[in-house]
Amino acid sequence: MIRVKFENVTKYYTLLNTGGIKNFILNFFREYKKIKSNRFLALENISFEVKDKDVVGIIGKNGAGKSTTLGLIAGVLKPTSGRVEVNGRIAPLLELGAGFHPDLTGRENVILNGILLGMTKKEILSKLDSIIEFSELGEFIDQPIRIYSSGMLSRLGFSVAVHTNPDILLIDEVLSVGDFKFQEKSKNKIYEFKEKGKTIIFVSHDIGMVEELCDKVILIHEHKLLYQGDVKKGVELYEQL
């Protein structure tokens, strides 16, 4: 079964630095053309497939287009041309407290975040204890999260995301904030996902971890797909760039 399929995907970002709505209304046609032509190429003609149970690493230099690729998979971005096909429930691992509200308690945020990630309230409530236990936040869970440290926030976010029971887990550089013990625990959880046969798409500059975790890599260089396939070969190519 194919989980993710990119067919000749090209993505341009719209760049907006218009002079605001005043200019737009006053010089409608000129500004309109400017918006149409002012765009930035982020991915060019990319094709790949991720099968069920694949654990794929996406590597490449800063600005290569990795996060853009994940955005297209998550469906928050739309390709300019080409086709993106996704089968299954997706859970993105969010960066530090995305979608959290500082004045709500950890517990309240877990419920809100779980819903935003696609769970029903009933599902979350049934997993609430396990989420809280995994986060190891103890009695802090009933404190407003504005008093949390950044590591504590990422624990909470990670705990929610891994409990959404996704078919496809998207990870974009989010493992590095917790303390050593929690990092180990997160890694274990990811391996557990792997053993359960989930599909994982992993973006990281931690090449060691990519080599360890993934059975396939996709190397993106200057917005193009340079290589896909064997991890060792991909990493070698990447290191020569």
Ligand X SMILES: Nc1ncnc2c1ncn2[C@@H]1O[C@H](COP(=O)(O)OP(=O)(O)OP(=O)(O)O)[C@@H](O)[C@H]1O
Binding site residues, ligand X, CB under 6 A: 13, 15, 40, 42, 60, 62-68
Residue 155 near residue 182 (C-beta atoms within 8 A): yes
List the single partner that 62 binds among other proteins, ligand X, Mg ion, none, CB under 5 to 8 Å by kind.
Answer: ligand X
List the single partner that 26 binds among Mg ion, other proteins, ligand X, none, CB under 5 to 8 Å by kind.
Answer: none
With respect to ligand X, which residue has the nearer C-beta, 68 or 113? 68
CA–CA gap between residue 62 and residue 52 (Å, rounded): 28
- Least CB distance from residue 38 to ligand X, whole Å? 10
List the single partner that 78 binds among ligand X, other proteins, Mg ion, none, CB under 5 to 8 Å by kind.
Answer: other proteins
**Angstrom distances, CA of residue 162 to CA of 32, 102, 113, 137, 220:** 43, 22, 12, 16, 27
With respect to ligand X, which residue has the nearer C-beta, 90 or 218? 218
Going by DSSP bridges, is the β-strand pair 168-172/90-92 parallel, antiparallel, or unpaired?
A: parallel
With respect to ligand X, which residue has the nearer C-beta, 145 or 235? 235
Interaction between residue 67 and Mg ion (CB under 5 A): yes
- Least CB distance from residue 96 to Mg ion, whole Å? 14
- Least CB distance from residue 9 to ligand X, whole Å? 13
3-state secondary structure of 170: strand
With respect to other proteins, which residue has the nearer C-beta, 98 or 241? 98
Interaction between residue 41 and other proteins (CB under 8 A): no
Interaction between residue 94 and other proteins (CB under 8 A): yes
CA–CA gap between residue 29 and residue 96 (Å, rounded): 41
With respect to ligand X, which residue has the nearer C-beta, 123 or 211? 211
Give the DSSP letter of residue 142: G
CB-count exposure of residue 221 (10 Å: 0-12, 13-18, 19+): middle
Q: Residue 135: name the closest of 110, 112, 164 by CA.
A: 110
With respect to other proteins, which residue has the nearer C-beta, 1 or 25? 25
Interaction between residue 95 and other proteins (CB under 8 A): yes
Angle between helices 180-195 and 150-162 (to 10 degrees): 10
